[in-house]
């Protein structure tokens, strides 16, 4: 077994209801520091709710949240990057406008890195958000998130609904960026296939709570299964 | 040069096998410097922490040595390398024999078929 | 810098409807300009202020729309991820709307000025003689103050109503209307108390008609009422900001 590192994010006894629907029910999780943690679960398992709470966009009914070392408040939002699942970019903006906008809003934003990554991802700064395809938009969302020099990246379904080409492109870029620094990544996904070799730590969320967690290679050895197969078994 | 991953087995073990194979085939030699963890992670397209774990395991097995500030090097001990490459070849043979037995072959049949294949290749 | 870039973004978002209204107003004044004759001047003077009735409605609409659009288009995810306080976000939005209002008013005032000055003889014939003696500084100053307050009030009540309706998943329209009604009722009750509370403030007096000392020509503004009016806008601004930053979820 690999020794457990310090936690970058810690939630305890977290509960959240939407009307009568329970999204999270007394969840305790420690996300290890310096690792790429995959939050795996089927749609509706509470992944998005959990990540929104970690990023300070939604508030729990009960429980405590510590993102890096404090509640995810306004000051803390400068210290982590959050990539939401949906199209959250103003559709009338050009890519260069968004890069400038982010550079003005976040002191941790690296403008030249953003332009470089935009180029690397085969996007043009003078394109408009509304003119991008779904895969291009997903790539640009990643550009904006990874261009911030922060300790923690929270990425909600960065691969969902994207063509396989863009997907492997995004994964390789994410890995490249991750290999560069001391930061931690939390990434949620409902499919594991191509991405599993990039994961360090895996948390499987289902039925409003944690079903299984551990280091990816430890889980593979214990169960003699790939994460893909293990996911299928856990959520069967 | 990459690895075709079997995702049902720990990936760090497959990285170790990749290095051992390079040693056995002579592409890497005693005392050679291994690529940095980050470079290897990029080359093999895996998480850098997994490479880190592979390096640590190889260090525990005495296959590599980390020299502070210089990087990771293959051990100078030829004996240890031979030992480990023999271990690898033994593993392959054991697995082959197990699978043949599983298919219902008798031991004498296995060796005769093996001989036949070897002769054909020549 | 962060606030300025936020303000620019809001300005860009409001610019389309603002521009449409500006063109409409311009067309209206061009029409009046060419219709103005000694025979029609009375009708024209009667309708010349019409756009000024539309502008508060425009602000009401903007106040309602500005956040409901962010939610509908999911851009609220971006807004809530920024390391900005609720005050900054609400202020940036309000300042953008205020700038558009000022541009609209400046354009309309120019239109009115041109129409009146080109038909000055006809206008002076139909206006009562006291008009020339009016203390225009005081009349316009107070008129504008009241007008701006009204626009701000329309904007913030609509915004507060639309934000409050976010607590509900259904019947948002109904909730918005109910809250709008309630906020109006409550603020006027509150204004009464606040006015009484600040009654000790000195009143402001201006003579409406120059050169006369008659009491009838006096504008008298209660200091307490002024303080109450200002405080009410401030309270709505603070409540909207806190709701946005601390309570509302995406």
On the question of pLDDT at C127 being above 90, the answer is: no
Which pLDDT band holds residue A147 (cuts at 50, 70, 90)?
A: very high
For residue B24, the model assigns a pLDDT of: 82
Which positions in chain B touch A2 (Cβ < 8 Å)?
53
On the question of pLDDT at A3 being above 60, the answer is: no
A140/A164 Cα distance (integer angstroms): 16
C117/C241 Cα distance (integer angstroms): 45
Give pLDDT tens digits for C166-203. 988 888 889 999 999 998 999 889 988 988 888 888 88
Tell which residue, C80, C14, C179, C167, has the closest CA to residue A92: C14
Contact A168, A140 (CB under 8 A): no
Minimum CA–CA partner of A36 in chain B = B47
Best residue of B13, B47, B53, B54 to probe chain A, by most A CBs closer than 10 Å: B47
For residue A128, the model assigns a pLDDT of: 97
Neighbours of chain A (3+ CB pairs under 8 A): B, C
Minimum CA–CA partner of C245 in chain A = A74
For residue C39, the model assigns a pLDDT of: 85
For residue C210, the model assigns a pLDDT of: 62
C26/A228 Cα distance (integer angstroms): 64
B91/C37 Cα distance (integer angstroms): 106
Q: Does C110 touch chain A (CB under 8 A)?
A: no
Compute the average pLDDT of residues C117-138: 82
Cβ-proximal residues to A57 (8 Å cutoff; 6+ apart), any chain? A82, A84, C77, C80, C81, C249, C250
Tell me which residue in B8, B47, B53 faces A2 most closely, judged by beta carbons.
Answer: B53
Q: What is the dihedral of CA A46, A47, A49, A50, to 10 degrees?
A: 110
Which positions in chain B touch A175 (Cβ < 8 Å)?
41-42, 45-48
For chain A, give the mean pLDDT.
Answer: 90
Which pLDDT band holds residue C216 (cuts at 50, 70, 90)?
A: low
Interface residues of A toward C, Cβ cutoff 8 Å, are 19, 52, 55-59, 74-78, 82, 84, 86-92, 100-101, 104-106
Tell me which residue in A58, A89, A92 faces C78 most closely, judged by beta carbons.
Answer: A89
Contact A196, A37 (CB under 8 A): no
Q: What is the 3-state secondary structure (H, E, C) of C33-78?
A: HHHCCCCCHHHHHHHCCHHHHHHHHHHHHHHHHHHHHHHHCCCHHH
What are the structural domains, with CATH classification, of chain A? 7-88+150-234 (3.40.50.300)
Which positions in chain C touch A59 (Cβ < 8 Å)?
247, 249
CA distance A177 to chain B (A): 10
Compute the average pLDDT of residues A121-129: 94
Sign of CA dihedral A101, A105, A107, A108: negative
For residue C224, the model assigns a pLDDT of: 87
CA distance B83 to chain A (A): 24
Give pLDDT tens digits for B87-110. 888 988 998 999 999 998 888 889
A160 or C147, greater pLDDT? C147
Contact C154, C60 (CB under 8 A): yes
DSSP letter at B8 equals T
Tell which residue, C35, C86, C55, has the closest CA to residue C238: C86
On the question of pLDDT at C208 being above 80, the answer is: no
On the question of pLDDT at B122 being above 80, the answer is: no
A169/B12 Cα distance (integer angstroms): 23
How do strand A80-83 and strand A152-156 relate by DSSP bridges? parallel
Which positions in chain A touch B12 (Cβ < 8 Å)?
217
CA distance B55 to chain A (A): 13
Which positions in chain A touch B47 (Cβ < 8 Å)?
36, 175, 178, 197-200
On the question of pLDDT at A227 being above 70, the answer is: yes
ipTM (interface pTM): 0.93
3 state DSSP class of C200: coil
Which positions in chain C touch A20 (Cβ < 8 Å)?
none
The reply to whether residue A226 touches residue B7, judged by beta carbons under 8 angstroms, is: yes
Q: Does C4 touch chain A (CB under 8 A)?
A: yes
B45/C160 Cα distance (integer angstroms): 51
Minimum CA–CA partner of B7 in chain A = A226
Per-residue burial over B28-44, b = 16 or more CB atoms within 10 Å of its CB, e = otherwise: beeeeebeebeebbbeb
CA distance C166 to chain A (A): 13
For residue C212, the model assigns a pLDDT of: 55
CA distance B93 to chain A (A): 21
B94/B100 Cα distance (integer angstroms): 10
Q: Calculate Rg over the CA atoms of chain B.
A: 17
Sign of CA dihedral B75, B79, B81, B84: negative
Which positions in chain A touch C77 (Cβ < 8 Å)?
57, 84, 86, 88
Give Cα separations from A181 to A77, A78, A184, C71, C190 (angstroms): 19, 18, 9, 35, 56
Which pLDDT band holds residue C1 (cuts at 50, 70, 90)?
A: confident
For chain B, give the mean pLDDT.
Answer: 87
Beta strands in B20-122 (DSSP E): 64-67, 71-74
How do strand A36-40 and strand A201-206 relate by DSSP bridges? parallel
Phi, psi dihedrals of residue B56, rounded to the nearest 5°: -65, -40
Which positions in chain C touch A75 (Cβ < 8 Å)?
83
Cβ-proximal residues to A103 (8 Å cutoff; 6+ apart), any chain? A109, A111, A114
Compute the average pLDDT of residues A159-187: 81
Neighbours of chain B (3+ CB pairs under 8 A): A
Residues in chain C: 250
Contact A128, A94 (CB under 8 A): yes
Question: In which residue are the tokens 């509706």 written?
Answer: A44
Give pLDDT tens digits for A30-54. 999 988 999 999 888 899 999 999 9
3 state DSSP class of A199: coil
The reply to whether residue B11 touches residue A197, judged by beta carbons under 8 angstroms, is: yes
Question: In which residue are the tokens 């509908």 written?
Answer: C72
Tell me which residue in A196, A200, A218 faces B7 most closely, judged by beta carbons.
Answer: A196
3 state DSSP class of B76: coil
Compute the average pLDDT of residues A222-233: 90
For residue A4, the model assigns a pLDDT of: 57
Helix-strand-coil split of chain C, %, nearest 5:
80, 5, 15
In A55-106, which residue ranges form alpha helices assigned H by DSSP?
95-105
Edge-to-edge strand list for the sheet holding A80-83:
A80-83, A152-156, A184-189, A36-40, A201-206, A209-215
For chain C, give the mean pLDDT.
Answer: 90
């Amino acid at each position: 077994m690999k020794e457990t590192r310090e936690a970058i994010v810690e939630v305890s006894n977290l509960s959240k209801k939407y009307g009568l629907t329970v999204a999270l029910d007394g969840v305790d999780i420690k996300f290890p520091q310096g690792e790429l943690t995959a939050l795996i679960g089927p749609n509706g398992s509470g992944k998005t709710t959990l990540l929104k709470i970690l990023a300070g966009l939604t508030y729990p009914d009960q429980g405590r949240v510590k993102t890096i070392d404090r509640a995810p408040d306004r000051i803390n939002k400068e210290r982590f990057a959050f990539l939401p699942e949906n199209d959250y970019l103003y559709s009338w903006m050009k890519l260069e406008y968004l890069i400038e906008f982010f550079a003005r809003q976040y002191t941790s934003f690296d403008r030249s890195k953003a332009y470089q990554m935009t180029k690397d991802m085969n996007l043009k700064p003078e394109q408009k958000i509304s003119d991008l395809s779904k895969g291009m938009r997903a790539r640009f969302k990643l550009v904006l998130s990874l261009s911030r020099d922060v300790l923690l990246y929270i990425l909600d379904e960065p691969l969902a609904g994207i063509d396989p080409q863009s997907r492997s492109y995004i994964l390789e870029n994410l890995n490249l960026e991750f290999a560069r620094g001391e930061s931690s990544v939390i990434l949620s996904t409902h499919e594991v296939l191509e991405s599993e070799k990039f994961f360090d730590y895996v948390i499987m969320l289902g039925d409003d709570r944690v079903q299984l967690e551990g280091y990816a290679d430890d889980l593979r050895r214990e169960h003699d299964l790939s994460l893909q197969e293990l996911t299928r078994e856990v959520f069967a | 040069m990459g690895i075709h991953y079997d995702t049902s087995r720990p990936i760090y073990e497959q990285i170790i096998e990749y290095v051992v194979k390079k040693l056995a085939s002579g592409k890497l030699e005693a005392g050679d410097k291994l690529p940095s963890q980050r470079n290897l992670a990029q080359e093999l397209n895996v998480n850098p922490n997994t490479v880190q774990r592979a390096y640590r395991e190889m260090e525990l097995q005495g296959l590599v040595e980390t020299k502070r500030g210089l990087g990771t090097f293959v051990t100078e001990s030829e004996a240890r390398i031979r030992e480990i490459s023999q271990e690898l070849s033994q593993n392959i043979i054991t697995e082959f024999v197990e699978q043949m037995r599983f298919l219902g072959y008798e031991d004498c049949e296995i060796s005769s078929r093996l001989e036949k294949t070897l002769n054909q290749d020549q | 810098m962060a606030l300025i870039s936020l303000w620019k973004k809001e300005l860009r978002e409001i610019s389309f409807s603002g521009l449409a209204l500006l063109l409409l107003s311009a067309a209206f004044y061009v029409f009046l300009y060419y219709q103005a004759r000694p025979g029609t001047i009375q009708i024209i003077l009667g309708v010349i202020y019409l756009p000024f009735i539309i502008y508060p409605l425009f602000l009401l609409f903007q106040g309602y729309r500005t956040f409901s659009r962010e939610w509908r288009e999911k851009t609220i995810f971006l807004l809530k991820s920024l390391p900005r306080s609720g005050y900054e976000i609400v202020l940036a939005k309000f300042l953008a709307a205020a700038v558009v209002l000022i541009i609209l008013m400046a354009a309309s005032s120019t239109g009115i000025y041109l129409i009146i000055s080109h038909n000055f003889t006809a206008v002076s014939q139909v206006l009562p003689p006291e008009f020339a003696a009016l203390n225009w500084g005081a009349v316009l100053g107070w008129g504008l103050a009241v007008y701006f307050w009204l626009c701000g009030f329309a904007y913030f009540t609509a915004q507060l109503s639309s934000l409050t309706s976010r607590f509900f998943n259904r019947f948002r329209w109904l909730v918005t209307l109910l809250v709008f009604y309630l906020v109006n009722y409550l603020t006027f009750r509150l204004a009464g108390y606040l006015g009484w509370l600040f009654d000790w403030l000195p009143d402001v007096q201006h003579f409406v008609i120059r050169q006369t000392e008659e009491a009838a020509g006096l504008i008298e503004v209660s200091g307490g009422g002024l303080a109450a009016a200002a405080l009410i806008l401030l309270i709505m601004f603070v409540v909207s900001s806190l709701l946005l930053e601390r309570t509302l979820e995406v």
